[in-house]
Amino acid sequence: MATIVGIDLGTTNSEVAVYDNGKIEIITDDDNGIVPSVVGLDENGTVIVGRQAMNQALVAPERTVLSIKRRMGSDAVIELGENTFSPQEISAFVLKSLKQRAEKHLGRPVTRAVITVPAYFTDVQRQATREAGQIAGLDVVRIINEPTAAALTYERGNTQTRQLLVYDLGGGTFDVSIVKIENGVVEVLASTGDNKLGGDDFDKKIVAELVTHLKNKYGIDVSGDRFVMARLLRVAESAKCVLSTEPYTRIEEDHLTQKNGQVIHLSMELSRSHFESLIEADLSRTMQAVTRALKDADMLPGAIDQIILVGGSTRIPRIAQLLEEKFGTPPHGEIDPDLCVAMGAGIQSAREMGLDHASVLVDITPYTFGTSAIGEINGEPSMSQFVPLIRRNTKLPASRSEVFYTLYDNQEAVDVTVYQAKSPTPPTTSFWANICST
Ligand code: AMP
């Protein structure tokens, strides 16, 4: 059977894994296997991907696309040099580069893949991911949720029944899932989060501090200068990473800009405690989601055996502190939080090839699906109403039957519309999105 690779197509970084001799291997290529999910055009108009594209993001932001995953499933038109692309086409460049990396490593063509997506991705976003795979020449044999993949990685070799909480905070998305592992069966009991929250937001908060500092110290407003802002974003991200291990850092960038002919150098100290205060509201939101996930799974914190940290942003020490305060036990991050999801995708790809039958993957829908129908009040037709059929957190695959009646005698046709909740916890019926009509 042709090799199937496992791909973590991340907002910030992507990785490709392959099952080899009972082990999952992250494919490296003179690097650590972490490929920035960045696409660009070089000076000659050639498409470049990964580290090379990342390196030019600073000097040529107009020729570089970052965080495309945030726009997957949208109608966005991405301008790159003279050309325009859909989000799927941009993602396909990243996938193609991972495919080539795998082919170079294996020495044979790779045409099939398992790809992970955030649990929060809608059907449209999942479909867009499949399309990106097709454009890259990959048959996407399965799409799995990132927290599910992470749990698969931790579950390997463990036969005990355990309930895990997977806290996944990456560059652009946050997911929290409660996963039960029993007799080798992985079941996602609940999944919630925020698909617009991640380390990118923390970087922007540091950049805002830097902009204010420059305004106060030199009376200049750099916020309209794309080139300067790109440089500030780069130093902000490095400072954030340093603060995960150090209590203070000095953010410095020489020759940042000029004012009235005078060269301005940036130098500002940032403490971990100040950084934590900048992101405290965001982290509180993630903890509220943790509470929501527990409620959805009908569990108390004491029922969780293990907390798994996934995603680069979980290296921020405050996150482990908050989780330990809530659960009374420190979270686990033994498996590299950047590679954990890709490894799970690799495990799933092995199963798809029939190589690892140890456990069966059970997935859930984070959204409610339903249709609309006209009700009756005092025998009179009332307004069209949403009728939920497959509720969020239902195990997939799922099917539901419901009897509806036609409105008129001898009616020959009905228009059936399927709606998906736009948010996992829709506050009103206006939060439903039409996904298909027949
Ligand atoms: P991912 O989407 O899982 O690849 O995570 C990428 C995010 O993790 C980016 O926002 C990185 O800046 C962030 N990140 C990586 N390493 C660290 C670190 N040591 N401390 C804080 N954030 C980090």
**How do residues 400-414 score in pLDDT, each as one tens digit?**
888 888 888 899 998
CA of 380 to the centre of ligand 1 (A): 58
Atom of ligand 1 nearest to the CA of 10: 2
Per-residue pLDDT tens for 112-166? 999 999 877 888 999 999 999 999 999 999 999 888 899 888 877 667 888 999 9
Does some domain include residue 339?
A: no
Residue 427 has pLDDT above 50, yes or no: no
Nearest residue (CA) to ligand 1, atom 14: 312
How many angstroms separate the alpha carbon of residue 65 from the centre of ligand 1?
Answer: 18
The answer to whether residue 104 is domain-embedded is no
Mutate to test the pocket of ligand 1, among 313, 335, 336 (most ligand atoms within 8 A of CB): 313
Q: Which domain holds residue 208?
A: 199-276
State the average pLDDT for the chain: 90
Confidence (pLDDT) at 429: 44
Of 234, 255, 276, the position where a domain reaches its end is 276
- In this structure, is residue 36 part of a structural domain? no
Could you give the CA distance from residue 334 to residue 338 in angstroms, rounded to a whole number?
A: 11
Of all atoms in ligand 1, which is nearest to the CA of residue 237?
12
Pick from 21-25, 373-377, 415-419, 425-429: least confident: 425-429
Please give the positions annotated as active site: 8, 69, 146, 168
Residue 17 lies in a domain: no
In a domain, 73, yes or no: no
Q: Is residue 150 part of a domain?
A: no
Predicted TM-score of the model (pTM):
0.81
Domain boundary among 241, 256, 276: 276
Q: What's the total number of domains in the chain?
A: 2
> At which of 232, 248, 276 does a domain end?
276
Domain assignment present for residue 410? The answer is yes
**pLDDT on residue 4:** 96
Decide: 356 and 28 in contact? Cβ < 8 Å: no
In testing the pocket of ligand 1, which one of 234, 241, 308 has its CB within 8 Å of the most ligand atoms?
241
Ligand 1 site-directed mutation target among 98, 120, 240, 310, most atoms within 8 Å of CB: 240
346 CB less than 6 Å from ligand 1?
Answer: no
Q: What is the CATH number of the domain that holds 225?
A: 3.90.640.10
Residue 267, pLDDT score: 98
* Percentage with pLDDT > 70 across the chain: 94
Note whether residue 243 is domain-resident.
yes
Going by pLDDT thresholds of 50, 70 and 90, the confidence category of residue 385 is confident
